[in-house]
Structure 1
Amino acid sequence: MHVNMDGQGPLHAQLTRALKAAMFAGRLGEGGRLPATRQLARELGLSRNTVLAAYEQLRAEGFVRGQVGSGSFVTPPVKPEALPSPAQVEHPPQSAFARRGRRFHDHATMPGRATPGMRYAFSYGVPYTNPALTTAWARELGRAAAYTPPNYPMTQGLPALREAVCDYLARRRGVRAAPADVLIVAGTQQAMALTARVLLDVGESAVLEEPHYTAMREVLQIHGAQVEAVEVDAHGLRLDRLPAAPPKLVCVTPSHQFPSGVVMSLERRLELLAYASRHDCWIFEDDYDGEFRYDAQPLAALRSLDRDGRVVYVGTFSKALFPSLRLGYLVMPPGLQRDYLNAKWQDDFGSSAIEQAALANFMADGGFERHLRRAGRALLERRGALLAALSRELGDALHVADSRAGMHLVAWLRRADPEQGNALILAAREKGLDLYSIAPYYQRPPPQAGLLMGFASMSVAEIEQAVQVFATCMRERGLA
């Protein structure tokens, strides 16, 4: 038990005052049991007689009551003092980093956040899950907890998991890497933060796609980078729109551009690699859901074409399994392994060893691949149901930008500007349907209203019902 002794007077009197303060602060509430005298004496380094004297004084003043064989309990009427509210104790930012954090990030306005109480939601950040995955993962966690050593994990990640990642990348993404090249991270978010720390000084420039993943932009801005968003067309990042002064870092999602869904063409990929080599800049390749394509085999990753070691390749298990896992991997460029390991060590020493061990075994025994196949079939069915329902219910009122990849698509409202789109979202919520605007993912929002429509988290029947509600809202507002 933690108590604050004030150093004034006899020890038993100090302890009496400290215990009263704990009661008034609410840390020892009415009916709460005080620690046994021997236990408290041992924890505080006091004699048992000192603790007994303090307890006797509290009993004499009516603060506690003794119960033979059970101990001492706090008695009423001890009322906790009113604690100051967060607004009363908030301080101004104490560092440049904190100032940038307050300027560029606000938890209350994060895009894509689910609205409580909705019956249907086209959530685009929620992956496909099923009871078989939950059961398999629980089994792997139990097994891993039994044999994982209790000491600190390796900063770089468990060798077994890094080997499994290398095997997976070679077969599914065309990336050749050795376990020594792989760093296990806490998802794409940490990978981006480590990359900013390793590659960018405050004030140096980074380029993002337009539109782009907002969290990636905010990480770079909070780090102190000068961020510029460059337009994406049907073939990927517009290299002809890159700033005159070459950036230090270019961040792309070539396999399934987020959020537009565009797949970067092979020609554009080769041009980007040549640009990075020519201008001595780095490429951050976020392959967040490259596993899921519905018309052909996934395109090889940008990293697989890199001959000059300019690509930082990042993958995550958040979309393939579930976001709560908080595990991903980063393939480090040659010559930067030491810098990345230093950054990871400084950040958290290393990712959880139990989850790593569970995932390594899940991948090694084929469970991960089986899940991907099952998820791919389910996503294909749900995607087809969404496209068919949108076409049937709304026809030419929408332009659907479908890349035949990933777990979401973009629907542009042909007859709605952004203001009308926001009004539609509010109207849909009144009917129990959560819709999500694409506008927050632009630095320069488009003139037309667009929606991100995820299909992984709803069944086929739920998707069809949700589209009917969506169509009703569109018609009521004169948009269909």
Structure 2
Amino acid sequence: MLTQLQLDGNGPLHAQLTRALKQALATGQLRQGSRLPPTRFMSQQMGVSRNTVLAAYEQLRIEGYIDGRVGSGSYVTLPARPAPAPVETPPLPPQTRFTARARQAHDQDNLPGKRVPGVRFSFQYGAPYTHPAVTTAWSRELGHAALYTSPGYPWAQGLPELRQAICEYVLRRGVEARPEDVVIVAGTQQAVSLCARVLFDPGDPVAIEEPQYYAARVILQAYGAQLQPVPVDDQGLIVEALPTTAPRVIYTTPSHQFPQGGTLPPERRAALLEYAARNECWIIEDDYDGEIRYDARSLPSLKSQDEHGRVIYVGTFSKTLFPSLRLGYLVVPRGLRRDFISAKWMEDFGASAIDQAALAGFMTSGACDRHLRRSLIALRERRDALLNGLHRMNEGRLSFVDSQAGMHIPVWLNQRDREQGRQFVDRARRMGLGLYSIAPYYLDPPDRAGLILGYAGLPVGDIEQALEVLRQCLDAEYGPRRH
């Protein structure tokens, strides 16, 4: 019988469960020939959805740890390996000197939004929607790529077949690009890092939304940017608030402002592009979840309207597929192509050729589009469940907007300051609910209690149970609801 399985809080739930089961194999809790618990029982025991368990079991099957037998369940096929003995290492002497860039590096143990261990439900932002079908399709493409991809160094710019597939993919966002305009990167963070290398020098002013994507802020600061926060409202960046002395670069999330959620309207988009052209500054357009929209209205990207070659377009597959696939892309102005390719070569020679080939096959086979359609249906159901629950329990205690895009909802606790918000988050965690403050996403946080509720990684049933815990927290904070 499996006992003491612990999720480590890092990455998607199915990946955490896979690691926990591998640890059970290593420690002898699961032995060769033993039967794994039924998926429904495991989901109840671990407090996760059955789809999460199915995805973990499927991953173990792909890696050869287990074998499914029709009508009788899943059985361990590999002998248990003893866990390696811990290696004692002497403590390192305290560091006395760091470079200026190293001092800018952030403590990885205190990243905002990092999954809280030991809670039953978590409104963690960034946890993706997963389905066993995408794991199966991806493993098929990955196996094919491993067999047929050249073992040599990859192209620094990226595999031509993947760049071609991305050109076809971004057409839905109105971006007309040629393969030579695309640079494959290891996720959004590397995209921002390359932009920092190419577009500005240390000490140059860089305008950034306030609030903003935390990792982008830290990376820009590490490259010496003098950040100029620009306020946002429920329609995104307030273009009129851009500084009169133009920055070198503007970083923005116009399709779905992170984390507030607004969509930049056409007149502001035109004004932003005109500002950039007039002042000869660059725009980094982070379209991190531009595909995830629930209404019929989907504005084209800034890049699609850029007549002066000032926009660098950033896309990622972390939200549409899974964060562990560290692949994204840049669509760059033609005058900057050589600079970006050189910067990418200096960072890592190029992204994994096998992963790139697998992704190209995944996209051209139609599996990516099928997964996106499936995701939109599931994410809409989860968003609706969360919004409906928030409306039911509100009674003036919360402020939020009925989001039409993305995978999270920002929520404010009315008449509560930032310290009271921190205490509210702590109380929720003690009650088994992972909540996350919005404050770390500000350079200068407001004295209000705000939360980011991510819902992509929670099935509807789990959302409803999590909302019940949230209601109890609100009742403890504000007093019981009136009936």
Whether TM exceeds 0.5 here: the answer is: yes
Alignment partner, residue 123 of structure 2? 122
Alignment partner, residue 90 of structure 1? 95
| Alignment of structure 1 residues 34-183 onto 2, 5 Å | 83-86=89-92, 88-93=93-98, 95-101=99-105, 105-170=106-171, 172-183=172-183
SS at match of 1:136: helix
SS at match of 1:184: strand
Alignment partner, residue 281 of structure 1? 281
| Alignment of structure 1 residues 35-434 onto 2, 5 Å | 83-86=89-92, 88-93=93-98, 95-101=99-105, 105-170=106-171, 172-434=172-434
SS at match of 2:399: strand
Preserved CA contact (<8 Å) 2:387 2:402: no
User: Which one-letter code corresponds to 1:109 in the other structure?
Assistant: N
Preserved CA contact (<8 Å) 1:153 1:350: yes
Moved over 6 A (4+): none
User: Which one-letter code corresponds to 2:379 in the other structure?
Assistant: L
Return the index of the structure with the highest Cα Rg.
1
- Offset of residue 81 of structure 1: 11
User: Which one-letter code corresponds to 2:121 in the other structure?
Assistant: Y
Structure 2 Cα separation of the partners of residues 459 and 240 of structure 1:
41
- Offset of residue 420 of structure 1: 1.2
1:337-362 Cα deviation digits (max 9, x unpaired): 00001100000000000000000011
Structure 2 Cα separation of the partners of residues 447 and 96 of structure 1:
31
Structure 1 Cα separation of the partners of residues 162 and 436 of structure 2:
35
User: Which one-letter code corresponds to 1:209 in the other structure?
Assistant: E
User: Which one-letter code corresponds to 2:97 in the other structure?
Assistant: P
- Offset of residue 292 of structure 1: 0.8
List gaps (5 residues or longer) in structure 1: 1-79
Preserved CA contact (<8 Å) 2:236 2:261: no
Structure 1 Cα separation of the partners of residues 368 and 249 of structure 2:
32
1:324-348 Cα deviation digits (max 9, x unpaired): 1000000011211000011000000
Identity value in percent: 55
Q: Say if 1:85 and 1:380 are closer, same or farther in 2 by CA, change over 3 A.
A: same
Alignment partner, residue 8 of structure 2? none
The count of corresponding residues between Structure 1 and Structure 2 is 395
User: Which one-letter code corresponds to 1:98 in the other structure?
Assistant: A
CA-based RMSD: 1.4
User: Which one-letter code corresponds to 2:429 in the other structure?
Assistant: R
- Offset of residue 402 of structure 1: 3.1
- Offset of residue 377 of structure 1: 0.2
Preserved CA contact (<8 Å) 1:318 1:327: yes
Structure 2 Cα separation of the partners of residues 203 and 353 of structure 1:
36
- Offset of residue 91 of structure 1: 4.1
1:369-404 Cα deviation digits (max 9, x unpaired): 000000000000000000111111233211112331
SS at match of 2:320: coil
1:24-77 Cα deviation digits (max 9, x unpaired): xxxxxxxxxxxxxxxxxxxxxxxxxxxxxxxxxxxxxxxxxxxxxxxxxxxxxx
- Offset of residue 106 of structure 1: 2.0
User: Which one-letter code corresponds to 2:239 in the other structure?
Assistant: L
SS at match of 2:335: coil
Structure 2 Cα separation of the partners of residues 178 and 389 of structure 1:
45
Preserved CA contact (<8 Å) 1:183 1:331: yes
List gaps (5 residues or longer) in structure 2: 1-85
User: Which one-letter code corresponds to 2:217 in the other structure?
Assistant: R
SS at match of 2:478: coil
Preserved CA contact (<8 Å) 1:260 1:401: no
Alignment partner, residue 34 of structure 2? none
